[in-house]
Amino acid sequence: MVASVILLALFPFIGVPRSWLLYAFNFFIYLAMANMWNLLAGYSGLISLCQPAFLGLAGYAMTIGTWVGIPWWAGIIGGVITASIFAFLISGAVFRLSGTYFAIGTLVVPEALRMIFYLWRPVGGEMSGAGAGYMVKGIGDVSSAMIYWLALVVGVGSVCLMRLILTSKLGLGLALIRDNERSAASCGVSVFRLKLCSFIIAASVTGLAGAIYYLNQGYIEPSGTFNVKWTMSLLLATVIGGIRTEEGPILGTVIVVFLYFLLARYAGYSLLIQGVILICIMLLSPQGIVGLLRRSRHYRNLAHFMSKQ
């Protein structure tokens, strides 16, 4: 893995095509977000559908910061803090819900923010176009290589963070909550505190990835930012690869990025096609690619054992 990361870090130096850098950049961004959704849905039992709210708020905080003279790098930090605070503020309401109701409750959050940013001009000016869209200012001296490395750090860092969480007491507590919340509470596990911790961690990393994404894009607007397409992509990456596995989001993100560019010419039907793929995967292989690989390896080992008998 270390050799792969080093090779990826050298991409800007070894003259790979710009399209490769774009594919890799999107892979790192989607990987970080998919890992965080896997942390919530796979390991914490929280089917959160409000991830676009975190990446959108962080992106807007970074962008608006550049309009008032804040450097882009400080704006990214401010975006992460904004996403974390927002996650904390809504946790009291959404954590009163569970299961399907929790999913529905979180689904309306990005839609509400989309309408707010349609009508609100944070730094003034006349309404123009389709809502409060802004260019990112003061990034003329930021190289594409720098943005690429930021995405690389976030993507690889999310993998390392997941490993750290899953081998800690937090991971063990989340596993207990996912299996049986009442039993975990009766054993002395602070259910609300652990859920809140995972929720804020996911919001922070998702916000960081979102801020870097819009730094690279150079423009942000509410319609594409607080959009269900982000939720669909994270669901697809995690389910295709294998939810509740460490390798799943990596494999799933490769496929999602491939589909992202493949379906770009069919923008009107992209969500429909992704939805059909998601349903097929859930019906044919609920455990995803990793589940298939593990199962086939198990069957091969079993067949090998039986042949010796």
Cα–Cα distance, 74 to 66 (Å, whole number): 9
pLDDT at 148: 96
The list of the chain residues with pLDDT below 50 reads 127-129, 299, 302-303, 305-306
Q: How many residues does the chain have?
A: 309
The encoded tokens of residue 109 equal: 């959050």
Per the CB < 8 A criterion, the answer to whether 19 and 261 are in contact is no
Q: 219-242: buried (b, 16+ CB within 10 Å) or exposed (e) per residue? A: ebbbebbbbeebbbbbbbbbbbbb
Cα–Cα distance, 137 to 143 (Å, whole number): 14
Cα–Cα distance, 304 to 126 (Å, whole number): 72
pLDDT at 132: 66
Cα–Cα distance, 302 to 79 (Å, whole number): 51
- As a whole number of Å, the CA-based R_g of the chain is 20
pLDDT at 40: 93
pLDDT at 302: 43
Bridge partners of residue 134, in order along the sequence: 220
DSSP 64-116: HHHHTT--HHHHHHHHHHHHHHHHHHHHHHHTT--HHHHHHHHHHHHHHHHHH
Cα–Cα distance, 300 to 288 (Å, whole number): 18
- How much is the pTM? 0.90
